[in-house]
Amino acid sequence: MLYLHKGDPSTAVDWSETTEGDALRFGSDGELVGLTIVRPRWRLEHEGHIRLTLPVREERVDLTSDSLGQLLVAA
C-alpha cells in the first residue's frame, strides 16, 4: 500500500472509496486530505499505470430547523 496525505491526516472527517478499491479521506471542508493506493507496485507492473477514479463531491449544506421547515412547507 502507498499512503499519501496533505497536512495532518487526523483532520479527516469523511471517508470514501474509489471504484478501484483505493481509500480516500476528506477534511471538514470536503477537500481530499489522504489517499491510500492499494497494491501500487502490482498495478504498475501488470497494468502499466495506476488509475484513480475520484468521486464527484457534492456541496454540503447545513440545514437548521427553520430552513428545513421552510423546505417542507414549499414542497
Tell which wins on pLDDT, 63 or 9. Answer: 9
The residue-averaged pLDDT of 60-75 equals 57
pLDDT mean over 33-61: 84
Residue 22 bridge partners (DSSP): none
Give mean pLDDT, residues 20-26: 93
Q: Are the C-beta atoms of 19 and 56 separated by less than 8 Å? A: no
Confidence class for position 75, pLDDT limits 50, 70, 90:
very low
Strands 23-26 and 2-5: unpaired
Sheet (strand 14-17) strand order = 2-5, 32-37, 23-26, 14-17
Q: What is the mean pLDDT of residues 55-60?
A: 65
